């Protein structure tokens, strides 16, 4: 924490920890917005972003499982964030009942709703639901999407299997439903997450190696920040 006169141990709403907060002369201890842009140690914009975007990173081995949250380190990762959450949403829940609102297209799963994820999220939005945690664990590839449809005896067209299109529609709705400072947990084969487009700060990445020729599962935690950071 850099401070010209007031030593404050707290963290403002936008920095990950108090090391990045810059409390200027005259800033009251109640102030919740720091002046990190004016931090004297930032030489340029990239420097500021690199310092600010310090990501907690870990890599661990665990056997693969098609139910993502049955993989112990991933389950612990999700539970850690759920413990601090009041209202959570999981649009691709399968049999996981952790979240407040659960959905899965497959009617044979334990989810409360069985709608296409987009319809489910639009319904929550129309009901004025706001969450502080949203889980994004969709099918990871076009092939997985078509397998899901096949399992439930539904036909899918070319558009349904385009994972990029599905992700983009779902992320828009996730952003609408998430409160400022809320978290999105994303799982898959890349670390794109919500990203710069929506002004999310990556706070933690857990890389789970499954051995053999399996893809890793990349687990990402991002926070929706208030000020424009990119
Ligand atoms: C990666 S799995 C989720 C696994 C779950 N998180 C777990 O730990 O068991 C993706 C799930 O999304 C469901 N799904 C696929 N397409 C969907 C869609 N368009 N809308 C809602 N659910 C969908 C599948 O039935 C599948 O259960």
What are the residue ranges spanned by the domains of the chain? 2-52, 56-224
Pocket lined around ligand 1, Cβ cut-off 6 Å: 67-69, 91-96, 103-106, 116-117, 137-139, 145, 148
pLDDT in tens, 167-222: 999 999 999 999 998 999 999 999 999 998 898 888 899 999 999 999 999 999 99
pLDDT, the chain, mean: 86
Mean pLDDT of 58-68: 96
pLDDT at 184: 98
pLDDT at 52: 59
Mean pLDDT of 119-138: 98
pLDDT at 2: 43
Contacts of 100-108 with C-beta under 8 Å, sequence gap 24+, read: 100/131, 101/129, 101/131, 105/148, 105/152, 105/154, 106/148, 106/151, 106/152, 107/152, 108/152
Which protein residue's CA is at the shortest distance from atom 9 of ligand 1? 67
pLDDT tier, 49 (very low <50, low <70, confident <90, very high otherwise): low
Residue 101's H or E segment, with its range, is strand 101-102
pLDDT at 1: 43
CA 188 – CA 220 distance, rounded (Å): 9
Q: Are 111 and 149 within 8 A, CB to CB?
A: no
Closest C-alpha to 144, from 120, 119, 161: 161
pLDDT at 5: 42
Distance (angstroms) between ligand 1 centre and the Cα of 76 equals 19
Q: What DSSP character marks residue 225?
A: -
CA 200 to chain centre: 9
Which protein residue's CA is at the shortest distance from atom 12 of ligand 1? 92
pLDDT tier, 57 (very low <50, low <70, confident <90, very high otherwise): very high
CATH architecture of 56-224: 3-Layer(aba) Sandwich (3.40)
Distance (angstroms) between ligand 1 centre and the Cα of 168 equals 16
Of 72, 138, 144, 165, the residue with max ligand 1 atoms within 8 A of its CB, to mutate for a pocket test, comes to: 138
Q: Are 229 and 51 within 8 A, CB to CB?
A: no
pLDDT in tens, 30-48: 666 777 667 666 666 666 6
CA 102 – CA 91 distance, rounded (Å): 6
pLDDT at 3: 42
Instruction: Please state the atom number of ligand 1 nearest to the C-alpha of residue 138.
Output: 10
Residue 22 has pLDDT above 70, yes or no: yes
pLDDT at 55: 84
pTM as predicted? 0.83
Residue 9 has pLDDT above 90, yes or no: no
Residue 229 has pLDDT above 60, yes or no: no
Mean pLDDT of 11-39: 66
pLDDT in tens, 95-115: 999 999 999 999 999 999 999
């Amino acid at each position: 924490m850099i401070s010209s006169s007031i030593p404050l141990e707290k963290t403002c709403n936008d920095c990950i920890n108090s090391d990045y907060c810059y409390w200027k002369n005259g800033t009251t201890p109640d102030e919740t917005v720091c002046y990190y842009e004016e931090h004297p140690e930032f030489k340029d914009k990239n420097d500021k972003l690199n310092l600010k975007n310090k990501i907690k990173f870990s890599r661990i081995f665990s056997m693969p499982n098609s139910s993502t949250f049955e993989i112990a380190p991933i389950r612990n990762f999700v539970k850690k964030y759920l413990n601090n959450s009041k209202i959570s949403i999981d649009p691709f829940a399968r049999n996981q009942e952790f979240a407040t609102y659960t959905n899965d297209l497959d009617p044979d799963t334990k989810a409360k709703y069985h709608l296409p994820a987009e319809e489910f999220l639009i319904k929550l939005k129309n009901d004025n639901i706001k969450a502080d945690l949203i889980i994004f664990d969709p099918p990871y590839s076009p092939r997985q999407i078509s397998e899901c449809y096949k399992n439930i005896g539904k036909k899918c067209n070319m558009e349904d299997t385009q994972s990029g299109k599905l992700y983009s529609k779902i992320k828009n709705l996730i952003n609408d439903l998430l409160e400022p400072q809320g978290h999105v947990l994303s799982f898959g084969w890349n670390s794109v997450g919500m990203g710069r487009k929506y002004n999310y700060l990556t706070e933690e990445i857990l890389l789970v190696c499954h051995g053999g020729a399996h893809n890793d599962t990349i687990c990402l935690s991002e926070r929706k920040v208030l000020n424009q950071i990119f």
